[in-house]
Copies of this chain bind each other. A is one copy, B any other.
Amino acid sequence: MVSLKTAGDAKVSINKSMAADGPLSAEELQSMDAYWRASNYLSVGQIYLLDNPLLKEPLKREHIKPRLLGHWGTSPGLNMLYAHLNRVIKRDDLNMIYVIGPGHGGPSLVAHAYLEGTYSEVYPNIGQDTEGMKRLFKQFSFPGGIPSHVAPETPGSIHEGGELGYALSHAYGAAFDNPDLIVACVVGDGEAETGPLATGWQSNKFLNPARDGCVLPILHLNGYKIANPCFLARIPRDELRKFFEGMGYTPYFVEGDDPAGVHQQLAGVLDTAVADIQEIWADARDRGNVKRPMWPMIVFRTPKGWTCPPEIDGKKSEGYWRSHQVPMGDMDKPEHIRILEGWMKSYRPEELFDDGGRFKPELAALAPAGHRRMSDNPHANGGLLLRDLKMPDFRDYAVSVPSPGATIAESARTMGAFLRDIMKMNMESKNFRLFSPDENNSNRWQDVLEVTNRCYMADIYPDDDHLAPDGRVMEVLSEHQCQGWLEGYLVTGRHGFFSCYEAFIHIIDSMFNQHAKWLKVCNHIPWRRPIASLNYFLSSHVWRQDHNGFSHQDPGFIDHVVNKKADVVRIYLPPDANTLLSVTDHCLRSRNYVNVVVAGKQPAPQWLTMDQAIKHCNEGLGIWEWASNDKGTEPDVVMACCGDVPTLETLAAVELIREHIPELKVRVINVVNLMKLQPPSEHPHGLSDRDFDALFTKNKPIIFAFHGYPWLIHRLTYRRTNHASLHVRGYKEEGTTTTPFDMVVLNEMDRFHLVEDVIDRLPQLGARAAYFKQAIHEKLIEHRQYIEKYGDDMPAISGWKWGLKGQAGAPHRTSTEGDNA
């Protein structure tokens, strides 16, 4: 148990004698402390003040915000770390960014961006004077102002925090392929309890010191969350040391509550850590020693809410959970106003800012300049560094489709060949990686391994398969890590694609949320430059599961995605390889989106030539004339489909219908861009009502076979004219069996059910309907029986090909139906 003194005496002046303990001279110590005080002053000011920013007049109630929001607790620690990182950046001309896991410590990063001048550069309204400081204070966590988190609005931020867990994953993603970049990453001890952060430490098994930069994790052990202590602060120091050593780090401890002593310890530890990093880099780069090193990390144990009043209203505040957010509320109490004034004055603002509110030049000079400022490092505004990928012509990977359905191919594998060559062309640029939770090959991207390897810095055995320190395929069995690394890689200006089983992508629902919201906000910040889109490839999808059963079926990620702002989300369900190629090309060229691509990996019939595919993807949806027989007229029924398996089943259903009732006019519509279905008022891709009506008719039955949950289609189309005639079949949480679930017939989104739906909606079929329906129903039962006996589809079903009957002259009709027409 480490005993922390109450920090009541923490605000004594730094004097020369204190310099004896460490690397800082007395002058350095004094100026470092002054810089820290300045950022602390600005942090408190943002949380509390509306006016009177320099406390030139006695503090009154009307100078204080009516509602107090923000997190003080973590800010003084973040501030001290920032000031000390500045020292080594400036001294060694380091390229460094700062990832703040406790992202609600927004006041801290805003304060430093302001002290460094960056803030006024990007927000000229917030100047380096008294009026500017007043505005800086007022805008914080205020309507029309800025968030209390380290949000996109904050210069220097690539990580908003707030939802905890992803700081290290983001930091490592940023460090990949940035060989001179040090990502200082503060991990709150609260965040350290989360799962994603707990595995985030292990990212060092994937960081190559010859090729990548480095992450310097700093565990900010201030001991408390909102209302509870953190367990890493409540285990013996020896356990904590072993914990980090066991994960491959060399931990350095900085512990105390006396500012001077902590300044000296921290300066010494940072000197050591930076030297370690430079030695590791030199070892790997100059001496070719590419092995996993013991990277340094820092345990920074200082009081929560450090330097705020030790007690307020007789209750412990500094060094306790009560200082987590606003240490003192209810500012209608005159006593509280006096406490606040005393607290802020304890930082001695008159020594820090001149009369006009400008930061003293001798202190400002302590910060690095230009792009070396962490608040202005281009890596923290990755769009500035973004360069287009070199890309081959996706048409060169086209699957030959002499006639619809004539070719069998694995769409995902075709995509993999395209990705392989993109990877190859960008090996030198070092700006493209693929991410997957051990599913790269399973999802059929294995061709990529012809030109690169899987990245691995843990031990490699001779018979390992394509593992190497310089691999560009990132495989770890953690969807959180894949997502977090990719996000970190993208926001720092690079490109990537995430391959995942559809069922497991829900694991990162909340991470997707945060990234989509980040992008949405960035769209309104002129100085944030667009970044490459976050691209998901979801395969091993709900209709083709193989080794996974009912418990691993869920097509609902797209439902989740469409809830986000239409400006930033795109969803594609290409029905075959050529459409998938076209979509892939589009996704990798797009910016500031989240693109979700869902397609299968199994051998499946191919429908469109490349020319047709390009047109189809450009339109986003359209009539497949070759499958329709309504040319120039209104159809009797519209058969719509979205997704590869629904497309297959729809076409098989269409063939059954055309075989049995050739005079029925059927229109087949395929949807590749899901958002086309929404009204244009809801999504920029949305089809106009006029076009929608022209395609889907105003009153004819629509049988829609959909990849996902059926109500998503209803949700997207409920305002359309013909919505009342729309019947959707999709994935249902039913199933007469729980395993294995490849057979669409068991989830009732098969050709037989689709045909039955058509019959049910066409009264004009009259007496024929009953016979046709019975024939279809018998086929369905026969098929089910076969499946239960043999565990597989009937060969006539699995081997079905489009056009075998339909194109052989006059359609064959069974005598039963013919006799009773």
Contacts and interface: CB of A to CB of B under 8 A. Distances in A.
Interface string A183-215: 000000011011111111010010000000000
A504 B144 contact: no
A70 interface: yes
Nearest to A322: B465
A459 B441 CA distance: 46
Interface string A242-253: 111111100000
A633 interface: no
Given A163-B552, A551-B517, A560 B509 contact: yes
Interface in A740-760: 740, 743, 746
Contacts of A225: 438, 477
Contact of A560 (B165, B246, B556): B556
A737 B66 CA distance: 18
Contacts of A231: 202, 205, 458, 476
A397 interface: no
Interface stretch (A402-410, A590-598, A783-791): A783-791
A796 interface: no
Interface string A160-171: 101111000000
A685 to B, nearest CB: 16
A559 interface: yes
A750 to B, nearest CB: 14
Interface stretch (A147-155, A346-354, A619-627): A147-155
Interface string A316-346: 1000110001000000000000000000000
A235 interface: yes
Given A227-B442, A478-B195, A520 B565 contact: no
Contacts of A459: 1, 234-235
A521 B715 CA distance: 28
Contact of A235 (B229, B248, B514): B248
Interface stretch (A173-181, A541-549, A646-654, A768-776): A541-549
Interface in A559-577: 559-560, 563-565
A461 B224 CA distance: 12
A57 interface: no
Nearest to A165: B195
Contact of A243 (B65, B243, B506): B243
B1 A461 contact: yes
Nearest to A446: B227
Contact of A242 (B242, B514, B733): B242
Contacts of A239: 245-248
A245 B248 contact: no
Contacts of A439: 226
A526 interface: no
A239 B197 CA distance: 19
B234 A143 contact: no
Contacts of A792: 66-67
A684 interface: no
Given A141-B740, A193-B477, A477-B191, A147 B549 contact: yes
Interface string A404-448: 000000000000000000000000000000000011111000000
A223 to B, nearest CB: 9
A461 B229 contact: yes
Interface in A476-503: 476-481, 503
A764 interface: no
A230 interface: yes
A723 interface: yes
A475 interface: yes
Nearest to A568: B733
A440 B227 CA distance: 9
B547 A71 contact: yes
A279 B549 CA distance: 42
A463 B316 contact: yes
A736 interface: yes
A714 B200 CA distance: 40
Contacts of A738: 146-147, 151, 153, 521
Interface in A102-132: 104
Contact of A245 (B164, B196, B242, B746): B242
Question: Chain copies in the assembly?
Answer: 2
A791 B162 CA distance: 21
Name, among A67, A191, A244, A736, the residue most crowded by chain B CB atoms within 10 Å (CB to CB). A67
Contact of A142 (B71, B143, B478, B739): B739
A513 interface: yes
A551 B518 contact: yes
A148 B740 contact: yes
Contact of A227 (B144, B242, B438): B438
A67 B145 CA distance: 60
B143 A739 contact: yes
A556 B506 CA distance: 13
Nearest to A678: B711
Given A438-B190, A547-B148, A739-B145, A563 B790 contact: no
Contacts of A365: none
A781 interface: no
A563 to B, nearest CB: 5
B143 A104 contact: no
A48 to B, nearest CB: 12
A88 interface: no
A510 B506 contact: yes
A395 interface: no
B510 A144 contact: no
Contacts of A454: 228
Given A227-B441, A477-B225, A709 B740 contact: no
A467 interface: yes
A31 to B, nearest CB: 33
Contacts of A244: 246
Contacts of A551: 147, 149, 151, 160, 162-163, 514, 517-518, 521
Contacts of A67: 740, 791-792
A507 interface: yes
A164 B240 CA distance: 26
Contacts of A503: 163
B193 A195 contact: no
14 contacts: A1-B461, A143-B737, A143-B746, A194-B477, A194-B480, A202-B231, A225-B477, A228-B475, A229-B464, A234-B456, A246-B246, A316-B463, A506-B510, A521-B738
Given A144-B737, A191-B477, A234-B460, 12 more contacts: A66-B790, A66-B792, A143-B746, A193-B481, A227-B475, A234-B459, A244-B246, A245-B246, A509-B510, A521-B550, A554-B563, A711-B718
Interface of A: 1, 65-67, 69-71, 104, 141-149, 151, 153, 160, 162-165, 190-191, 193-200, 202, 205, 225-231, 234-235, 239-248, 316, 320-321, 325, 438-442, 454, 456, 458-461, 463-465, 467, 475-481, 503-504, 506-507, 509-510, 513-514, 517-518, 520-521, 546-552, 554, 556, 559-560, 563-565, 709, 711, 714-715, 718, 723, 733-734, 736-740, 743, 746, 787-788, 790-792
